[in-house]
Structure 1
Amino acid sequence: MENDHKTVEEGLEEDVTRRPKIELESGLGSADAPPQPNETAQISLKEEDSIAVKSEKPTPQSKFDLSDIKTTSLTEPGISILNIIENALNSTSPGSASIAAQGLDLLCPSTKSTEVGDYIWVLWTMLLEVAQALPPDSDKPGQGTLVAILFELQQCAKGDVSLWGSEWRLWRDLPLLSNFMDETWTDPVRNDEILEQESARMWRNQNAFAARCVGAGVGEWAHFGIWQLRAALEEDRAAEQSENRECLIQVASEWVIHSGPRLLQWAEDEDKEPFDWGTDVAAGSLFQGSPGLSLRRWKFWKDRFNEVSKDTALCNEGARVAAREAVESMVEAETRLGNEST
């Protein structure tokens, strides 16, 4: 499976080609007709009145405030990374993702430095913490901005770097990002305890971000999505707490909502030429099929989402709503793929 940035390039074309414009406002006076002394006094009074009025207005707060995350990262380069990301999230200027990527690139040590690996790991840590704090449906600004920053970062050519026994192209390969995602992928849902609401929220946000990356072609970790779809739809969860069932369904829905078209395309391709997924993506007890992605498994997930959306006895409203949104997204993905193949 090769990275395909076509979708992201189309979505970010305007960001990449345009840059913020500085517009100059004309002054009160003019070089050709300087103000007379009495006019100058009137202008000064107007300026003072204007200042007084402005001072009474409350300072607008950032739409996305990362101060809570900053308090847990009191050292550099973490704080600088968060400042750059926060500026991008709160910017209305075209090209803010590109500007952020350039800033992150400038913070990175030389490819010959022994600290380059540490910086990259801190960068991915900060990015994930921000993603966990952003709502799953936040596009631009929001989680969509984070994905755009990753795409723009890939356009920054810094050179080759050797990390963890492998050679990487910085930043095209997004070095260690897949390794980082593997290291930090810990499902908090447990059968023997009720999942805390905050943990469920962060877990859903993390999955939404990962799914967005896969859908946009800046991440190749479809196995995470299969794990979550299997956990939610291919196992009998009747004995589990309703809070946990809701989290499972919501998390699984994020994968088909944000990466459905790409997962479906892979499923169709695999039906033509099977791919060896190994045991990582084995089927659950309710699905009598082969591991990996397939059109048969896709249809099973869609049918199960449809069942959940109507199950008032076992599933609460949050789970049913997420299941309905998942079915709608899967139908849209099928329609899109059908249109592209005709």
Structure 2
Amino acid sequence: MTTPPFTIERPTYSEAEVAENPWYAIELGVYDILAGIIESRSATSISAAQQLNSLFPTNRPQTSAGNEAPESFLWEFWGIVAKVVAETPLIDFLKALRDLLDPVELQLENWGSVKLWADLPLLGPVFREALDTYQGMNLEAFLARLTQAGIANWSWLGLVSLHAALEVEPDSRARAYKEQGPILEASVPRAVIWLEIAGRKLYEGATERALRDEKYGSGGNWKGSAGFSQERWDYWKKRFSEISVQEQASDATKNLAKKGEQIMAGLEN
């Protein structure tokens, strides 16, 4: 038997625990659906999306104690997805989920009116929390893929990643300037990941001057206007060029910086 390329670590509960807490059975059902996609056991992303939709509390028969609130299900579901995509992407599944026919309008406490699943409700706030929990680049790469696919717009996070890598630089006279190698080693790969995956969307943001009224990526050495702009794009490209020959950067970081500059130049053509 061929070992699947990805597996999900599924929680385990005793029969008594499931009987005492009905949510556990739903949680295990969510894991089974996602495992079916990742381990290539599901027929299609569409069928998996339909299965997931059938688990939503308003689509299940009511239990004697009542089903969980819709926002509770959504918060737990997106939390599971955030944990899983730290290992592998689920882009096709989420696209199929978003595109399910006849979206139902829900009123969520504290969140207002949303369409299930067309709005992918609560994905944003759950994944913002997840970014603080899962420190690797896989989750950020997943959000870049969502952005490039037009499923959800996380371009602001791409702006923040480019800002952290290219605009936050100590004064050249300071000791921190001479010791910034590890900082570049951590931040430059994240910026390049965004350009590799969603560079086209980010460049569109620059040409359209998107996020002009937002404060994402404020501070640092960039003194121009907030948000995306062609001027800021050009500044980022120049900074990649500078880092590619910067003494404090490792060879790997220099090579990545050169790659980032080349990707940006290619996107302009």
Same fold (TM over 0.5): yes
RMSD of equivalent CA atoms: 2.7
Provide structure 2 residue ranges, at least 5 long, that are not aligned to the other structure: 15-23, 61-66, 171-176
Q: Name the CA shift for 1:243/1:63 in 2 (closer, same or farther; >3 Å).
A: same
Please name the residue that 1:295 is paired with: 230
| Superposition deviation, residue 244 in structure 1 | 3.6
Deviation of the 1:227 alpha carbon: 1.3
Q: CA deviation at 1:332?
A: 2.9
Partner of residue 159 from structure 1, selected from 74, 82, 104: 104
CA distance in 2, matches of 1:324, 1:77: 48
Instruction: Tell me which of 83, 99, 105 is aligned to 2:53.
Output: 105
Question: Which residue of the partner structure matches residue 252 of structure 2?
Answer: 318
Q: Is the 8 A contact 2:179 2:248 kept in 1?
A: no
Give aligned pairs, total: 246
When Rg is computed on C-alpha atoms for both structures, the one with the higher figure is 1
- 2:195 is aligned, of 237, 253, 256, to 256
1:83 lines up with 2:32 in the alignment: yes
C-alpha distance in 2 between matches for 1:148 and 1:327: 30
Counterpart of 2:145 in structure 1 is 212
Amino acid in structure 2 at the alignment position of 1:292? G
Residue 110 of structure 1 aligns to a residue in which SS?
A: helix
- Residues 86 and 138, structure 2, Cα contact 8 Å, conserved in 1: yes
* Counterpart mapping for 1:105-184 below 5 A: 105-110=53-58, 114-134=68-88, 143=89, 146-156=90-100, 157-163=102-108, 164-184=110-130
One of 209, 220, 234 as aligned partner of 2:167? 234
Partner secondary structure for residue 244 of structure 2: helix
Cα offset, 1:76, TM superposition: 3.8
Normalised by the length of structure 2, the TM-score is 0.80
* Contact 2:211–2:226 (Cα < 8 Å) also in 1: no
Percent identity between the aligned chains?
Answer: 26
Q: Distance in 1 between matches of 2:13 and 2:217?
A: 35
Secondary structure at the counterpart of residue 161 of structure 1: strand
Q: Evaluate the alpha carbon distance shift between residue 111 and residue 296 of structure 1 in structure 2; reply closer, same or farther with a 3 A threshold.
A: farther
Matches within 5 A, 1:43-58: none
Matches of 2:82 and 2:36 in 1, distance apart?
17
In structure 1, the residue corresponding to 2:238 is in which secondary structure? helix
> Within 2, Cα distance between the matches of 1:102 and 1:115?
20
Q: SS at 1:160's partner residue?
A: strand
Stretch deviating more after TM superposition (220-229 or 103-112): 103-112
Tell me the CA shift for residue 114 of structure 1: 4.6
SS at structure 2 position matched to 1:248: helix
Determine if contact 2:79/2:130 at 8 Å carries over to the other structure: no
| 2:6 equivalent in structure 1 | 64
Is the partner of 1:310 in helix, strand or coil? coil
Q: Which structure 2 residues correspond to residues 11-26 of structure 1 after superposition, within 5 A?
A: none
Aligned-partner SS, 2:197: helix
Q: CA 1:73 to 1:148, structure 2 compared with 1: closer, same or farther past 3 Å? A: farther
Question: Do the aligned partners of 2:144 and 2:197 also contact (CA within 8 Å) in 1?
Answer: yes
CA separation of 1:81/1:322 partners in 2, compared to 1, >3 Å: closer, same or farther? farther
Distance in 1 (alpha carbons) for counterparts of 2:125 and 2:13: 21
Deviations 1:274-327 (A, max 9, x none): 754233332x4222311100011111112212222333x312233234323322
Given residue 268 of structure 1, which amino acid in structure 2 is its aligned partner? Answer: T
Q: Could you tell me which runs of 5 or more consecutive residues in structure 1 were left unpaired when the two chains were aligned.
A: 1-58, 135-142, 189-198, 336-342
Write the deviation string for residues 193-250 of structure 1: whole angstroms up to 9, x where unpaired.
xxxxxx6xx4311211111111111112222111111111101163556444212111
- Give the residue type in structure 2 aligned to 1:208: A
Cα separation, 1, equivalents of 2:139 and 2:220: 26
Aligned position for 1:277: 213
Amino acid at match of 2:257: A
Aligned to 2:174: none
Q: What do the CA deviations read for 1:108-146 (whole angstroms, capped 9, x no partner)?
A: 221696532222112211111112123xxxxxxxx2xx1
Using the TM superposition, give the Cα deviation of residue 62 of structure 1 relative to its aligned residue in structure 2, in angstroms.
Answer: 1.6
Which whole-Å deviations, capped at 9, do the CAs of 1:17-59 have from their partners, x for residues lacking one?
xxxxxxxxxxxxxxxxxxxxxxxxxxxxxxxxxxxxxxxxxx3
Out of 305, 321, 331, which is 2:240 matched to?
A: 305
Which residue identity is paired with 1:314?
Q
Give how far 1:158 is off: 4.0
Q: Would the aligned equivalents of 1:257 and 1:325 in 2 still touch at CA under 8 Å? A: no
Q: What amino acid is the match of 1:222?
A: S
